[in-house]
Structure 1
Amino acid sequence: MEEYINSEYPDISYLRAKAKKRIPGFAFDYLDGGCNTEVNKRKNTEEIRELELRPYYLRELINPNMEVDLFGKKFSAPFGISPIGLQGLMWPRATEILAKSAFDYNIPFILSTVATASLEKVSEITEGNAWFQLYHPAEADLRDDILDRAEAAGYPVLVLLSDVPSFGYRSKEIKNGLAIPPKMSLRNILQIMGCPNWAIHTLLAGTPEFKTLKPYIPKGMSLKHLGQFMNRTFDGRLDEERIKAIRDKWKGKLVLKGVTSEEDAEKCVKLGIDGIIVSNHGGRQLDHGESAIKSLGPIVEKFRGQIKVMMDSGIQTGPDIASSLAAGAEFTFLGRSFMYGVAALGSRGGDHTISILKKQLKQVMDQVCCARPEDFPDFLIRE
C-alpha cells in the first residue's frame, strides 16, 4: 500500500492537537485521559523516552526491512492497532476506518468486545485477518457463544484482557457523564454544538452502540438498565481455571493482554498461551503501578523464547516503537496515536498515522544502522 501523509500533521502531537479541536471535549477526555491523577499515563511515555540508542555510522550501508513474522503471518511493520472501546464516540465509524487501514497496510488490528463495530463486520473488512479481544463474560454460555462467533468469522488470534478486574477511576469521564449509564449535560450539548463536523458525521452514522454485544442486549433497554446489564454480564477478574477453559476451547492463537509481573507471565507459559502483551491499559487502570516499559525488562529476560512477548502502553511515535523493541518487545501496539489520527483526519486518519509511524521508524533504523526490528536490542545503551 502506497504511503499517505498529510504534511500539515507530520507528527502525532499535531494530530492530537487537531483532534482536541475537532471533537467534543467529553470524547477527547475519554480518549486522552488516564485514571486518577494520570501518573502512570505520563510515566508510560516518559520512561520509554529515557532509553537511548547507540548509532553506528561507519558500518556498511543497509536497506532496513521492517517486516516481522508473528504467529505464522508476515506483517509489514512491527506495530499494530490496540483494542479501544467506544471508538465510534470519538469519531463515527472509527473502528471500520482503522480496521480497513490495518488491512491495507498489513498490520494487526485488535477489535475490542466493546468497540462500535461487530466482530463479523470487522472480519469482513479485514478478510479474516483481525484479532479479537475478549472482555470475560460472567456466564460460560455467553463466553462460548462469542468465541463461536469469533471462530466462525475466522479470527486467527484471541486476546484475553486481564487488567480490568475493576473499572479504572477516571474522574474526567465521571465529570463528563461517560460513566455507565451516561448522561447528556448542557455542558456536553454545548461541546457538540462547537464541533459541527463531528455532529454531522455522528448523525449520519447513528448513535454509537456495542455492536458485537447487540444480540445479547434486550431491546428497548434504558440507559440505566444498560449499565446494570453490562455490570452483570461481564466479570473482568481472570484466574487460571477461566483461562484454561478458554485455552481448551479456542483452537487459534491465544494472547493475554495486561501482563506486568513475572508471576503472571510464568502462569501464561504453563497454561500454553502463545503470547503476552505487557501493558497497563495505557495508564487507565492502576495509577501508581510501574510503567509498561519498566515491567517489560524482567519479563523479557526470563521468558523470551518461551512465549511471544509484545508490548503496548505509552508508545506514541516511531522512535517510541524503536526503543520498545530495543528493550526486548518482539512486537508493539499503539492505541491513542491511531485515534488521534482518525479524530483529526477522518477516513484518511488511519492511513496517515501508519505512514508517519513507518517513516519515523525507518529513519531510526537508517540512523543507527539496524537491518531488522529484531536487531534493535543490539543498539540499546545499557547502564
Structure 2
Amino acid sequence: MAITFDTRYPSVDDLRKQAQNKIPKFAFEYLDGGCNEDVNVIRNTSELRGVQLKPNYLRAHQGSSLKTKLFGIEYDAPFGIAPVGLQGLMWPNAPEILAKAAHQHNIPFVLSTVTTTSIERASELTEGKSWFQLYHPSEDALRDDIIKRAEAAHCPVLVILCDVPTFGFRPRDIRNGLAMPPKMSVKNILQVLGRPHWALETLKHGQPNFETLKPYMPPGLDLKQLGKFMDQTFSGRLNEEKIKPIRDMWKGKLVLKGVASEFDAQEAIRLGLDGIIVSNHGGRQLDAGESTIKPLSTIAEKYGDQIEVMMDSGIRSGPDVARAMASGAKFTFMGRSFMYGVSALGKAGGDHTIALLKAELQQVMEQLCCEDTSSFPYHLAK
C-alpha cells in the first residue's frame, strides 16, 4: 500500500493528540466536546465500533474501488467533509484548507452557515461543487436571499438541519466564555500565549467572522449584541410549513440532516427530499439520545430504496466508514476527524486526513474482498 500521508500521524487519534497540543484549550474543547456530560459523543463511536465485518477470503477478487455515486455524481470515496461551525476559530483559514483538499480528492465539502468562509468563496475553491448547509433563518426574506446565493454559487446540494430546535447545553463552552470572537479572559489569553503558532496564524489571517452572514449583520457588534443577533436571526425548529417553501424554491438536491427516527425519515420522503443524513449533530445536541448507528440500519432497510440514506456522527476512521456502510449508509460524513487534521497540521491537514482515511478504507475493503462500496452490506457479521 502506497503511503501518501505524513507517517508521523498514521491515525486520526494521532491527529487529535497533536491538535490538542497546537490550539488553545477553549478551541480544542469546542471541537472535541459534546453537550452535558459528553455521553453521546462517546456512545456514537463506541456503538459504531461494535459493528463487526465478515471477510470472505477465498472469493475471487479483482481489486477494490472506493468510487461511489451519489445524486448522479461519482466521488472518489464514500465520505465527505461534514459542516462544522466556527472552523476558523479552531485553525485559521480551516474551511478554505478543507474545501481545497476536498476538491483535489473529489469528495464533497459541506459549508455551514455559521462557519468562517462565505458561500461564494467555498464555491470558488471547489469550482461550484461545495454543498451548503442552511441554518433556518427566522425571516423568509433572509432565507430566500441565502438560498439564492447558494444557487448562484452553483451549489449542487442544499442541506437543511432539523436537530437544532435549541442549541446544545455545553458546559465546557460556557466555562470558556466561548462566543465569536471568543471572550478574552485572562485564562483564554494565557491559553493563546501558550500556542504561538496558532496565534501567529490568526494574526496573519485576521479574526474569524461569520463570513456568509456578514452582509446581514450590523457592524461593530459586541459579544452581547452578537448573541442577540444570532438568537433573533435563526429559528432552528423545522416543520412541514418551513420545508415546503425551500423545496419549491430549491431546484437542486435537497437533504435533511439530523434524522434520528423513522418518523422523520418518512416525513422527508413525503415532502419530496432527495436524501437524509442520519445524525445527532456529533453528540452535541441531545446527550440522552441514541447513537447514530442505532436507527441507521432500520431506516436504511425500510427507506433506502426511496431516498438516499447517509450518516454522520461518531465516524472517525476508515474502518468506521466501512462499519456505517455495512449497516446501510449509502454515504458518510465526518467533521471532527478533518478538523483534528487541520488543527494538527495546518494547511497540510486536509490533504493528509483524506489520504489517511482513503488508505484505511482501501485496506478494509481489500481485506474483505469487497470490490465496491455497494457491496459492504454483504460483509456485515450477524
* TM bucket normalised to smaller: over 0.9
Deviates more, 1:345-354 or 1:214-223: 214-223
Checking the alignment, whether the CA contact within 8 Å between 1:44 and 1:293 is kept in structure 2 is yes
Partner SS, residue 52 of structure 2: coil
| Distance in 2 (alpha carbons) for counterparts of 1:276 and 1:160 | 10
- In the other structure, the counterpart of 2:64 is 64
Partner SS, residue 41 of structure 1: helix
- In the other structure, the counterpart of 1:234 is 234
Encode CA deviations 1:267-314: one digit per residue, 9 max, x unaligned. Answer: 000000000000000000000100000010111121011000000000
Residues 316-331 of structure 1 aligned to structure 2 (within 5 Å): 316-331=316-331
Encode CA deviations 1:313-359: one digit per residue, 9 max, x unaligned. Answer: 00000000000000000000000000000000000100000001000
Checking the alignment, whether the CA contact within 8 Å between 2:61 and 2:371 is kept in structure 1 is no
| Distance in 1 (alpha carbons) for counterparts of 2:105 and 2:249 | 31
What amino acid does structure 1 have at the position aligned with 2:210? F
Deviation of the 1:219 alpha carbon: 1.2
Checking the alignment, whether the CA contact within 8 Å between 2:78 and 2:331 is kept in structure 1 is yes
- In the other structure, the counterpart of 1:200 is 200
Task: Specify whether residues 3 and 144 from structure 1 end up closer, same or farther in structure 2 by C-alpha distance, changes over 3 A only.
Answer: farther
Partner SS, residue 123 of structure 1: helix
Partner SS, residue 267 of structure 1: helix
Deviation of the 1:61 alpha carbon: 2.8
- In the other structure, the counterpart of 2:173 is 173
- In the other structure, the counterpart of 1:272 is 272
- In the other structure, the counterpart of 1:298 is 298
Encode CA deviations 1:70-128: one digit per residue, 9 max, x unaligned. Answer: 11110000000000000000000000000000000000000000010000000000000
What amino acid does structure 1 have at the position aligned with 2:272? G
| Distance in 2 (alpha carbons) for counterparts of 1:265 and 1:129 | 26
Encode CA deviations 1:174-217: one digit per residue, 9 max, x unaligned. Answer: 00001478421111100000000000000010001000000000
| Distance in 2 (alpha carbons) for counterparts of 1:234 and 1:3 | 44
Partner SS, residue 69 of structure 2: strand
Instruction: Give TM-score scaled by structure 1 length.
Output: 0.98
- In the other structure, the counterpart of 1:218 is 218
Residues 100-111 of structure 1 aligned to structure 2 (within 5 Å): 100-111=100-111
Say yes or no: does 1:160 pair with 2:160.
yes
- In the other structure, the counterpart of 1:87 is 87
Checking the alignment, whether the CA contact within 8 Å between 2:19 and 2:341 is kept in structure 1 is yes
Give the fraction of aligned pairs with identical amino acids, expressed as a percent: 61
What amino acid does structure 2 have at the position aligned with 1:99? A
What amino acid does structure 2 have at the position aligned with 1:144? D
- In the other structure, the counterpart of 1:332 is 332
- In the other structure, the counterpart of 1:21 is 21
Task: Specify whether residues 324 and 160 from structure 1 end up closer, same or farther in structure 2 by C-alpha distance, changes over 3 A only.
Answer: same
Task: Specify whether residues 363 and 107 from structure 1 end up closer, same or farther in structure 2 by C-alpha distance, changes over 3 A only.
Answer: same
Gapped runs of 5+ residues in structure 1? none
Partner SS, residue 55 of structure 1: coil
Task: Specify whether residues 338 and 375 from structure 1 end up closer, same or farther in structure 2 by C-alpha distance, changes over 3 A only.
Answer: same
Encode CA deviations 1:57-79: one digit per residue, 9 max, x unaligned. Answer: 11113210110111111000000
| Distance in 2 (alpha carbons) for counterparts of 1:3 and 1:218 | 49
Say yes or no: does 1:117 pair with 2:120.
no
Deviates more, 1:59-68 or 1:320-329: 59-68
Gapped runs of 5+ residues in structure 2? none
| Distance in 2 (alpha carbons) for counterparts of 1:96 and 1:239 | 32
Residues 229-268 of structure 1 aligned to structure 2 (within 5 Å): 229-268=229-268
Checking the alignment, whether the CA contact within 8 Å between 1:86 and 1:116 is kept in structure 2 is yes
Instruction: Give TM-score scaled by structure 2 length.
Output: 0.98
Task: Specify whether residues 196 and 238 from structure 1 end up closer, same or farther in structure 2 by C-alpha distance, changes over 3 A only.
Answer: same
- In the other structure, the counterpart of 2:342 is 342
| Distance in 2 (alpha carbons) for counterparts of 1:226 and 1:36 | 24
| Distance in 2 (alpha carbons) for counterparts of 1:181 and 1:362 | 40
Partner SS, residue 236 of structure 2: coil
| Distance in 2 (alpha carbons) for counterparts of 1:9 and 1:140 | 46
Checking the alignment, whether the CA contact within 8 Å between 1:254 and 1:273 is kept in structure 2 is yes
Partner SS, residue 111 of structure 1: strand
Checking the alignment, whether the CA contact within 8 Å between 1:33 and 1:284 is kept in structure 2 is yes
Partner SS, residue 6 of structure 2: coil
- In the other structure, the counterpart of 1:310 is 310
| Distance in 2 (alpha carbons) for counterparts of 1:290 and 1:180 | 30
Paired residues, number: 381
What amino acid does structure 2 have at the position aligned with 1:197? H
| Distance in 2 (alpha carbons) for counterparts of 1:328 and 1:160 | 22
What amino acid does structure 2 have at the position aligned with 1:284? R
What amino acid does structure 2 have at the position aligned with 1:82? A
Deviation of the 1:221 alpha carbon: 2.0
Checking the alignment, whether the CA contact within 8 Å between 1:309 and 1:330 is kept in structure 2 is yes
Checking the alignment, whether the CA contact within 8 Å between 1:255 and 1:273 is kept in structure 2 is yes
Task: Specify whether residues 367 and 181 from structure 1 end up closer, same or farther in structure 2 by C-alpha distance, changes over 3 A only.
Answer: closer
Aligned residues: CA RMSD: 1.1
| Distance in 1 (alpha carbons) for counterparts of 2:221 and 2:354 | 39
What amino acid does structure 2 have at the position aligned with 1:266? Q
| Distance in 2 (alpha carbons) for counterparts of 1:73 and 1:297 | 24
Checking the alignment, whether the CA contact within 8 Å between 2:259 and 2:277 is kept in structure 1 is yes
| Distance in 1 (alpha carbons) for counterparts of 2:102 and 2:4 | 13
What amino acid does structure 2 have at the position aligned with 1:303? Y
| Distance in 2 (alpha carbons) for counterparts of 1:115 and 1:271 | 28
| Distance in 2 (alpha carbons) for counterparts of 1:244 and 1:253 | 14
| Distance in 1 (alpha carbons) for counterparts of 2:118 and 2:194 | 30
Encode CA deviations 1:206-248: one digit per residue, 9 max, x unaligned. Answer: 0010000000001122221111011000000000110011000
| Distance in 2 (alpha carbons) for counterparts of 1:3 and 1:138 | 48
